């Protein structure tokens, strides 16, 4: 049986709980220090609370300790990992492999995406270090993932991003923020260099393309590829977004939860979820109606595609909602797409004649005629409108608060000196845990039938983590009497016992997770040293020929100038540029005059970006 894990982001405690309630099997969350999103830090107290909430569902919490560390920070990071372990965290994600030489607790260690894991050789090096889960590079194709799965041991878990923002560089190999702004992405301080606007020039400095966001990519969505990824051997499906708010996390998590559930229900003998519990969805998820820069599967099905680039804007476009029919002095009439309705306060945007993104907020709606707060300029019939702020949907997601529950079945029976109430936890069409309480109470003959009242009282589990599927009252109970207050007390005691049983079950499983390198296993030391040497902690420590970025995305290919991977027939580049023979190396130039040269490594189908000295 192959288990599938949906891994959601948690900016904070409340976002993590929302993710679990919407079907996540695990969440990843930043600790107070050393996370790759410096703005998403959390206290140990909140992380402990989240772990207790997760473990009742046999779900997991992973903490990010995935920055490159200064030498004097290593002891603090080790101490933090011990604290995280003692507060219930199931695993930590790391980038700085020097931590593997430290005295760590028996906690799972996951190699963060910042470890830049692209090949089976990369994974085997980490495997020999004691790591048993890696987050694969986002740039891999489905065929490459399949090949990796065949080449690495079965107990090495593969985690793959399926949704969210994309870095143009291989993760962990981007030094642009550090070089330009003294803010290291490998220290959790990315300055979004790839979202800036550049001019494209030839080697003489002559502009050969307009100002544009040449390194800005769309967002990833692999919602329709869940089955293909599962068949390729992926264990964990990861949603990006530790800075995203609750409505975003609810919407995206629910969409992927339903997709993974559908696969498990279609092939129950092959796939199952790692966590337990039922979710009650109070909305229909729609990833088009939440923050996005339009979507791409990002090389998953082919090594080169024209569908990854977003050079006109780095901002969210959202959902295409229709085209402009006509405009008046204070209104815009729109041919709306099927099943699209516009509400007061919605934010709409469009590209004007100069391909510059413009926007306006809707003040009032009368059928297909929209009255903006302020009438936008340069909007013409035929213009495509996008909705990047959907007020009604956001309000629906904000209010959605149906808690996750664990299905149980109960059995009430008499004992020699009282009664026993047994509860069984149901998951994956079987009982996975059980607890019982014995209650001393003298047997009394009932004056009238009591079974209906017993079932009714024992079925009331509102306000708890449990939902009662069935109450069985054994035949030898039918003639006996139990007060409703006693039945309620028995139910409360059993609830506490079931909670304790599930917490213990989850902790026991956690302590048998992948134990990392131990100093007694000296054979791992050379592999750790080799792995540490392969990734400089800062750009200053890198060799002279180290690029600022290493990218699978290729600007020359996106501009239609690659002979090996031409654009599909009839497809024109989003931006027109005139790349002449002998014009390379091409340069990207910021408005302040700083330049960066593009080098095309066609042998490895990779674009490298260097600082122009």
The answer to whether 263 and 230 are in contact (CB under 8 A) is yes
**Sheet containing 466-473: which strands, arranged edge to edge?**
430-440, 418-427, 406-414, 466-473
Residue recorded with tokens 């996370």: 35
The answer to whether 335 and 175 are in contact (CB under 8 A) is no
Per residue in 365-387, pLDDT (tens digit) is 998 899 999 999 889 999 999 99
What is the reported pLDDT for 518? 47
What is the reported pLDDT for 520? 47
What is the reported pLDDT for 516? 55
What is the reported pLDDT for 114? 93
| The token pair that represents 476 in the structure block | 């030898």
Q: How far apart are the first and last CA of the chain?
A: 55
Taking the C-alpha atoms of residue 503 and residue 374, their distance in angstroms, rounded to an integer, is 55
DSSP code for 177? H
3-class DSSP state for residue 593?
A: coil
Degrees, nearest 5: CA angle 73-238-277: 110
Taking the C-alpha atoms of residue 50 and residue 9, their distance in angstroms, rounded to an integer, is 13
pLDDT above 90: percentage of residues in the chain? 76
Per residue in 540-562, pLDDT (tens digit) is 777 878 899 999 999 999 999 88
Closest CA to 159 of 128, 136, 138: 136
DSSP code for 37? S
Closest CA to 394 of 336, 343, 335, 323: 343
What is the reported pLDDT for 519? 46
Bridge pairing between strands 60-65 and 357-366 = unpaired
- Quick one: average pLDDT of 101-122? 92
pLDDT above 70: percentage of residues in the chain? 97
DSSP code for 114? G
Answer yes or no: is pLDDT of 521 > 70.
no
Query: What sign does the CA torsion over 556, 558, 559, 563 have?
Result: positive
What is the reported pLDDT for 517? 46
The answer to whether 538 and 584 are in contact (CB under 8 A) is no
Closest CA to 138 of 222, 210, 215, 51: 222
Taking the C-alpha atoms of residue 607 and residue 613, their distance in angstroms, rounded to an integer, is 19
Taking the C-alpha atoms of residue 425 and residue 408, their distance in angstroms, rounded to an integer, is 5
Taking the C-alpha atoms of residue 386 and residue 348, their distance in angstroms, rounded to an integer, is 6
Taking the C-alpha atoms of residue 375 and residue 357, their distance in angstroms, rounded to an integer, is 15
Per residue in 310-346, is it b (16+ CB within 10 Å) or e — as a string? bbbbbbbbbbebbebeebeeebbbbebeeeeebeebb
Taking the C-alpha atoms of residue 49 and residue 591, their distance in angstroms, rounded to an integer, is 47
- Quick one: average pLDDT of 37-64? 92
- Quick one: average pLDDT of 293-303? 92
Name the residue with higher pLDDT: 449 or 466. Answer: 466
Query: What sign does the CA torsion over 86, 90, 95, 101 have?
Result: positive
- Quick one: average pLDDT of 77-98? 95
The answer to whether 501 and 465 are in contact (CB under 8 A) is no
- Quick one: average pLDDT of 581-600? 90
What is the reported pLDDT for 511? 64
Per residue in 418-433, pLDDT (tens digit) is 999 999 999 988 899 9
Q: How many CA atoms lie within 13 A of 242 on its CB side?
A: 20
What is the reported pLDDT for 38? 66
- pTM check: above 0.85: yes
Answer yes or no: is pLDDT of 138 > 80.
yes
Q: Using 50, 70 and 90 to split pLDDT, how confident is the model at 14? A: very high
What is the reported pLDDT for 490? 97
What is the reported pLDDT for 514? 53
DSSP code for 521? -
Closest CA to 271 of 216, 227, 302: 227
Closest CA to 50 of 109, 8, 82: 8
The answer to whether 324 and 286 are in contact (CB under 8 A) is no
Phi, psi dihedrals of residue 56, rounded to the nearest 5° = -65, -25
**322, β-bridge pairs:** 336, 385
Per residue in 186-230, pLDDT (tens digit) is 888 899 999 999 999 998 889 998 999 999 999 999 999 999 999
SS3 track for 202-260? CCCCCECCCCECCCCECEEECHHHHHHHHHCCCCEEEECCCCCCHHHHHHHHHHHHHHH
Q: Write down the H helix ranges in 451-571.
A: 451-458, 484-510, 525-533, 555-558
Closest CA to 124 of 103, 150, 95: 150
Q: How many CA atoms lie within 13 A of 43 on its CB side?
A: 4
The answer to whether 114 and 66 are in contact (CB under 8 A) is yes
Taking the C-alpha atoms of residue 59 and residue 51, their distance in angstroms, rounded to an integer, is 8
Establish whether the linkage from the previous residue to 324 is cis, with ω within 30° of 0.
no
- The contacts of residue 100 (CB under 8 Å, 6+ apart) are 94, 109, 129, 130, 131, 516, 517, 524, 528
| The token pair that represents 251 in the structure block | 């919407």
| The token pair that represents 17 in the structure block | 């709980």
Per residue in 312-370, pLDDT (tens digit) is 999 999 999 999 999 998 999 999 999 899 999 999 999 999 899 999 999 999 988 99
Q: Which of 254-263, 440-449, 527-536 has the lowest mean pLDDT?
A: 527-536
3-class DSSP state for residue 56?
A: coil
Taking the C-alpha atoms of residue 107 and residue 7, their distance in angstroms, rounded to an integer, is 18
| The token pair that represents 354 in the structure block | 């100069």
Please count the other Cβ atoms lying within 10 Å of the Cβ belonging to residue 416: 7
Taking the C-alpha atoms of residue 24 and residue 279, their distance in angstroms, rounded to an integer, is 10
């Amino acid at each position: 049986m192959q288990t599938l894990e949906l891994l959601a982001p948690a900016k904070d405690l409340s976002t993590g709980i929302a993710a679990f309630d919407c079907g996540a099997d695990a969440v990843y969350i930043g600790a107070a220090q050393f996370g790759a999103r410096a703005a998403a830090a959390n206290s140990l107290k909140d992380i402990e609370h989240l772990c207790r909430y997760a473990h009742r569902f046999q779900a997991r919490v992973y903490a990010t300790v995935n920055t490159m560390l200064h030498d004097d920070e290593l002891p603090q990071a080790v101490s933090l990992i011990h604290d995280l372990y003692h507060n219930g965290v199931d695993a930590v994600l790391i980038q700085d492999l020097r931590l593997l030489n430290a005295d760590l607790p028996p906690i799972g260690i996951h190699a963060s995406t910042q470890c830049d894991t692209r090949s089976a050789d990369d994974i085997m090096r980490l495997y020999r270090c004691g790591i048993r889960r890696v987050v694969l590079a986002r740039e891999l194709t489905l065929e490459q993932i399949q090949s990796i799965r065949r080449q690495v041991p079965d107990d090495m878990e593969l985690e793959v991003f399926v949704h969210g923002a994309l870095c143009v560089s291989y993760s962990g190999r981007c030094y642009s923020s550090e070089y330009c702004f003294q803010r290291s992405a490998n220290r959790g301080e990315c300055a979004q260099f790839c979202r800036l606007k550049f001019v494209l020039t030839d080697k003489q400095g002559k502009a050969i393309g307009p100002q544009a966001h040449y390194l800005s990519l769309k967002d990833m969505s692999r919602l329709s590829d869940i089955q293909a990824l599962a068949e390729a051997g992926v264990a964990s499906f990861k949603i990006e977004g530790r800075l995203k708010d609750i409505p975003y996390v609810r919407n995206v998590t629910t969409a992927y939860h339903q997709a993974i559930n559908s696969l498990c229900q279609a092939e129950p003998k092959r796939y199952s979820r790692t966590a337990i519990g039922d979710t009650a969805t109070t909305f229909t998820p729609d990833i088009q109606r939440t923050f996005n820069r339009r979507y791409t599967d990002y090389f998953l099905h082919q090594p080169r595609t024209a569908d990854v680039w977003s050079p006109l804007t780095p901002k969210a476009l959202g959902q295409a909602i229709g085209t402009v029919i006509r405009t008046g002095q204070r209104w815009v009439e729109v041919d709306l797409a099927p099943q699209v309705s516009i509400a007061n306060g919605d934010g709409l945007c469009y590209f004007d004649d100069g391909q510059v993104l413009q926007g306006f907020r809707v003040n009032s709606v009368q059928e297909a005629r929209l009255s903006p707060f302020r009438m936008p300029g340069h909007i013409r019939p035929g213009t495509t409108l996008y909705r990047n702020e959907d007020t009604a949907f956001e309000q629906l997601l904000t209010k959605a608060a149906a808690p996750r529950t664990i299905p149980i079945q109960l059995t009430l029976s008499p004992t020699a000196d009282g009664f026993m109430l047994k509860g069984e936890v149901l998951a994956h069409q079987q009982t996975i845990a059980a607890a019982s309480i014995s209650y001393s109470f003298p047997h009394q003959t009932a004056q009238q039938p009591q079974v209906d009242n017993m079932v009714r009282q024992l079925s009331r589990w509102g306000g708890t983590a449990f939902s009662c599927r069935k109450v069985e009252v054994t035949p030898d109970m039918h003639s006996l009497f139990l007060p409703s207050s006693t039945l309620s007390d028995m139910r409360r005691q059993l609830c506490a016992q079931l909670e304790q049983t599930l917490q213990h079950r989850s902790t026991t499983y956690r302590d048998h997770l992948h134990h990392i390198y131990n100093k007694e296993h000296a054979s791992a030391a050379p592999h750790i040293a080799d792995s540490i040497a392969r990734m400089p902690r800062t750009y200053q420590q890198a060799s002279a020929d180290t690029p600022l970025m290493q990218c699978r995305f290729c600007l020359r290919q996106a501009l239609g100038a690659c002979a090996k991977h031409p654009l599909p027939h009839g497809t024109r580049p989003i931006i027109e540029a005139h790349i002449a023979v002998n014009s390379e190396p091409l340069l990207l130039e910021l408005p302040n005059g700083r330049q960066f040269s593009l080098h095309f490594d066609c042998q490895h189908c990779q674009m490298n970006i260097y600082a122009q000295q």
